[in-house]
Structure 1
Amino acid sequence: MGIKSFMGKRAASKKSFQEPILVKDYMTSKLVTFREKDHIMDVMEKLVKNGISGGCVVNDKHELVGIISEGDCMKQVSDSRYYNMPMSDSFVENRMNRNVETIDGNMNVLDAAKIFIEKKFRRFPIVENGRLIGQISQRDVLRAALKLKGQNWQY
């Protein structure tokens, strides 16, 4: 005698098609940006005033050349105090990070979440045709996840 299943026939799962949720759909495009010749004190003022932890540094063509963060500014403040050096000659170009990693605006935002976890960054610039077009933060990824409400993590 064969084994009989009491589970009955299973209904085929219905997969609904959803558009992928892309980084460019959740990135911030109105950015506070900085220039290499900006003074560190001006950067600190803008960071505090706008409630942000860092920003992209661009040139005259709006091409990304670096990132400056609160941490970079804090290092300047600490070094100035420790070495008793005035901050009058402290500029973005001396403190910014020039080795910037970017994310593709057409990437699925949940794939971007994995990159945030792996890299431990707070933000990633989005560059298109050589120009800065936006930035995505960890908070932007959380907004996208809330939209999905945990129903379908594939999209």
Structure 2
Amino acid sequence: MQSVKVADYLNHRPVTFKADMRIESAVEKLLQSGQSGGPVIDDMQRVVGFLSEQDCIRTMLEATYQNESHSIVADVMNAEPLCVSPDDSILKLADRMTADKPKIYPVCDSDCRLVGVISRTHVLYAIDKHLHDTYESGHRFV
């Protein structure tokens, strides 16, 4: 299982955002994607933040109370996203996910450029597939 890598299960075409994007546009993009969040990238495809549904709910709720919104993604994003490498082990990431809150992690190369994202769903799928493959081949999962 250690040999199963993030690169094998990540989403290569995630929803992404720009820091100067209006929050309403970001919410529409997020809703259309079906993802619970996405990386904020600069013009060089480097990850500069992460925008989650929770960030958006808080901001949209405030806008509802004030009857207006002037927020942009940079105002509400997490500016220190927890990135993972494509070469990271799925098993180690699964262990990390039991302690860390994010449901989705940006996957970045050594220059912090976005490669894709990996979610809890992707990790569960990888573990489940490995377990099925192990059972079908007659080996026990340890």
Identity percentage over the alignment? 30
* Aligned position for 2:84: 103
* Aligned position for 1:5: none
Residue 46 of structure 1: how far off its partner (Å): 1.0
* Aligned position for 2:103: 122
Alignment map for 1:62-101 (pairs within 5 Å): 62-82=45-65, 84-87=66-69, 89-101=70-82
Alignment partners' CA distance in 2, 1:38 and 1:92? 6
Max radius of gyration: which structure?
1
Number of aligned residues? 135
* Aligned position for 2:9: 26
Residue 153 of structure 1: how far off its partner (Å): 4.5
* Aligned position for 2:137: none
Any runs of at least 4 consecutive aligned residues in structure 1 with deviations exceeding 2 A, and if so which?
150-154
Residue 85 of structure 1: how far off its partner (Å): 4.9
Select the residue among 110, 126, 129 that pairs with 1:147: 129
Residue 49 of structure 1: how far off its partner (Å): 1.1
- Bigger fraction of residues in helix: 2
Residue 50 of structure 1: how far off its partner (Å): 1.4
Alignment partners' CA distance in 2, 1:52 and 1:127? 18
Alignment map for 1:2-17 (pairs within 5 Å): none
* 1:6-31 Cα shifts (integer Å, max 9, x gaps): xxxxxxxxxxxx88110111111111
Residue 81 of structure 1: how far off its partner (Å): 2.8
* Aligned position for 1:136: 118
Residue 97 of structure 1: how far off its partner (Å): 0.5
Unmatched 5+ residue regions in structure 1? 1-17
Residue 47 of structure 1: how far off its partner (Å): 1.2
Alignment partners' CA distance in 1, 2:44 and 2:86? 20
Give me the TM-score of the superposition, normalised by structure 1.
0.80
Alignment partners' CA distance in 1, 2:6 and 2:81? 17
Residue 120 of structure 1: how far off its partner (Å): 2.3
Residue 99 of structure 1: how far off its partner (Å): 1.2
* Aligned position for 2:30: 47
